[in-house]
Structure 1
């Protein structure tokens, strides 16, 4: 069980960092929020992938690409809800 939790943390951290690198602008989220972003992205990515391919089959996390896409979606929504990143200023 500990290995599974540690795996989700590492997986979430990597997917969250990649999503933060893809979405333009500066993110003021810490390490814990980055991990949560990646884990939530994996869940969202799994749902979106399931809906687009074989239909919804319950909780099913996505792979790396689906997780990063899901994390980008979650990050954009998070930024809109919290009012962060209103635009890139030059």
Structure 2
């Protein structure tokens, strides 16, 4: 459960980064970007752990690793791009 909450918090930042990287006007605003970022980070984290890209966290680790940040950002970018594609 702690990993899930961590991915949600990381998703807030990943959504902001993904929004800056993917150009274009977002009609949903900041709230939609944050929600899509959270979904993308959770999805990216789940895929990263299941394919073995991300190791299990130690209980004392509270800072995300570089791999976690990259996985969350890529996941958020994918979800944001799919959202834009579906809205067209």
Report the equivalent of 1:81. 86
CA distance in 2, matches of 1:32, 1:21: 15
Give the deviation of 1:29 after TM superposition.
2.5
Larger radius of gyration: 1
CA distance in 2, matches of 1:52, 1:11: 20
Q: How many residues align?
A: 71
Matches within 5 A, 1:4-83: 8=8, 10-53=9-52, 63-83=68-88
Unaligned runs of 5+ in 1: 55-61, 84-90
Unaligned runs of 5+ in 2: 54-66
Q: Is the 8 A contact 1:12 1:34 kept in 2?
A: no
TM-score, normalised to structure 1, is 0.62
Give the deviation of 1:30 after TM superposition.
1.8
TM-score, normalised to structure 2, is 0.63
Give the deviation of 1:50 after TM superposition.
3.0
Q: Which stretches of structure 1, 4 residues or more, deviate above 3 A after TM superposition?
A: none
